[in-house]
Structure 1
Amino acid sequence: MQAPQIYVDADACPVKEEVVKVAERFGLVVTFVSNGGLRPSRDPMIRNVVVSKSADAADDWIVDNAKANDIVVTADIPLAARAVAGSAHVLGPTGKPFTPDNIGMAVAMRDLKQHLRETGESKGFNAGFSRQDRSRFLSALDEQCRRAVAAAQT
């Protein structure tokens, strides 16, 4: 099996540096996918892909390119659901894994929150990104990389 790669939904991703740090430790290629504004890297293990500004262009590119056992980093629940369906390992930037066991509930909660915002029942404030979130993410990504690399070697 081919070595896993990491795909990052890079627009507004707060853990880009952490992804690079963990990927270097495992020797994995990282692809940042964005609608623009990515800082180029000289590191041959870091790729930047700029897609059109259409609504789901980055999501579509990631789903079209991520393979089973690759790792996808995103806070976008619909993208997470599509990547899980493609057998990728999926992590949110707070370190929360999205799996076949929990993605249905995540989609349902997203839809409920969207409905509540649309009806004015909720203002839709998200909690700020904390140091604990960053730490949890580093630990979770390290674990996902270990699993993906081990699976690729069997």
Structure 2
Amino acid sequence: MRLVIDGDGSPVKDEVVELGRKYGLPVLIVTSVDHFTTKEYPDFLTFIYVDKGADGADYRIVKEIKENDMVITQDYGLASLLLGKKVRIFHHNGKEYLPETIDSLLTQRYIGGQMRKAGKRTKGPKPFTKADREHFTKILTKVLEESIK
């Protein structure tokens, strides 16, 4: 089992890395070269950098994913591609993407996109708070403890 992060825009990278350390799990962050870093990281953490452009990180995650991995992404489209691959997928708000709910999420995303194309304003996401971060960490910790038993 690995923890795989869709790194473009993920606000919980540090929390996932810390959970990887705590539970002895490898962590993979897939992100665009726009987010290249020279920061030193522990050996259990691997980066894969992809070219700039829409969906590059998503397609690479689909290619790299292995059965029993856990993926953290806010991208509904990526989540829908991964649901059939025997992995668990979580949003940074702590909610798990499920086959029963993915269609409604994709429909909401489509409708929002159509509204924006028509010049209408839609609400963006609320700022990610310390409480949101703690909630995500609590949820993923519980999932990992149940999975490792």
Kept after mapping to 2: 8 A contact 1:72/1:91: yes
CA shift digits 1:45-88 (9 cap, x unpaired): 00011011132111011111112221111111101111222221
The whole-number CA distance in structure 1 between the counterparts of 2:68 and 2:147 is 6
Q: Secondary structure at the match of 1:97?
A: coil
What is the CA distance between 1:41 and its match in structure 2?
Answer: 3.3
Kept after mapping to 2: 8 A contact 1:89/1:144: no
Give me the identity figure in percent. 27
Q: Does 1:117 align with 2:122?
A: no
What is the CA distance between 1:98 and its match in structure 2?
Answer: 0.6
Runs of 4+ in 1 over 4 A off after TM superposition: none
Whichever structure has more helix as a proportion of its residues is: 2
Kept after mapping to 1: 8 A contact 2:79/2:89: yes
The whole-number CA distance in structure 1 between the counterparts of 2:128 and 2:122 is 18
Q: Secondary structure at the match of 1:133?
A: helix
Structure 1 stretches lacking a partner, 5+ long = none
Kept after mapping to 1: 8 A contact 2:112/2:122: no
The whole-number CA distance in structure 2 between the counterparts of 1:59 and 1:70 is 15
Q: What TM-score, normalized to structure 1?
A: 0.87
Q: What TM-score, normalized to structure 2?
A: 0.89
The whole-number CA distance in structure 2 between the counterparts of 1:106 and 1:138 is 23
How many residue pairs end up in the alignment? Answer: 147
The whole-number CA distance in structure 1 between the counterparts of 2:108 and 2:147 is 28
Q: Secondary structure at the match of 2:100?
A: coil
Amino acid at match of 1:9: D
Q: Does 1:129 align with 2:128?
A: yes
Structure with higher RCO (Cα < 8 A, 6+ apart): 1
Amino acid at match of 2:91: G
